[in-house]
Structure 1
């Protein structure tokens, strides 16, 4: 009983002089604020990043391809016009122009993306792909949008 009365008394033991422990909690509020601001910035800027000729691309369940640095993109619009990146080009000028570009870059191993409006004539897109294949371009990919349903 003597021990209890000595330990519980307020007679200047270690209890009165104790410091508060180090607080090791992270304040999450500023991090959440920064993330929300970044989210808004990316939501606003994403529609501005679309490149090329406006087309209504078909939708598929396929996964997207890896992106090259600056891929060559051929686009075929509803009128049957062919565009190399954003510049209109005739079918007869297509192969010489592509060969010159790929030789200046890295060689014939360059990936070429073909985009075609989903309402464009199938034969027109196949004409473009046939010329690419005949010219020796083997890395040709069709571009689609991911199906949301």
Structure 2
């Protein structure tokens, strides 16, 4: 009888060829919670001090179009052979669009006042993009 009970027990205990993934799932869930908690903390703002530019000016064949954004958010347009003139957003887009259609290779620069808000300068760049200008440069003073 002892051999019969031994074979019966041996038949019940077969080796498993499967991997137990429950501990891996637990570890994955803990890591997911840790990353979900720490991810918002990684997007904190950082104070930066932008460097001054020692870049040399670009030689142009034509005089560039310069859009000046003043501290109050107004626009001033300076184009070739035309004196500086204050314009509103619609006038800026219309005049630059007409000029760029005739002179597609003309350079366009935005000169933003230091105290002007970033949004105002950005909106000027958006207006120029809608006017058909593909590349817009930003002007700065020299470091000297």
* Alignment TM class, shorter chain as reference: 0.5 to 0.7
Post-superposition CA distance 1:33-80 (Å, at most 9, x none): xxxxxxxxxxxxxxxxxxxxxxxxx94233322234221110011111
Aligned to 2:65: 72
* Alignment root-mean-square deviation, CA: 1.9
Count of residues in correspondence between the two structures: 89
Distance in 2, Cα, partners of 1:72 & 1:136: 13
Distance in 2, Cα, partners of 1:87 & 1:99: 16
TM-score, length basis structure 1: 0.53
SS class of match (1:102): helix
Gaps of 5+ in 1: 1-57
Distance in 2, Cα, partners of 1:70 & 1:90: 22
What displacement does 1:96 show?
Answer: 1.2
Work out which structure has the larger RCO, using CA pairs closer than 8 Å and 6 or more positions apart in sequence.
Answer: 1
TM-score, length basis structure 2: 0.55
Structure (1 or 2) with the larger CA radius of gyration: 2
In the superposition, relative to structure 1, how do residues 103 and 95 fare at CA in structure 2: closer, same or farther (>3 Å)? same
Q: Is the 8 A contact 1:109 1:137 kept in 2?
A: no
Q: Is the 8 A contact 1:74 1:115 kept in 2?
A: yes
Gaps of 5+ in 2: 1-50, 79-83
Distance in 1, Cα, partners of 2:86 & 2:141: 23
SS class of match (1:66): coil
Distance in 1, Cα, partners of 2:52 & 2:61: 22
Task: Tell me whether 1:115 sits opposite 2:108 in the alignment.
Answer: no
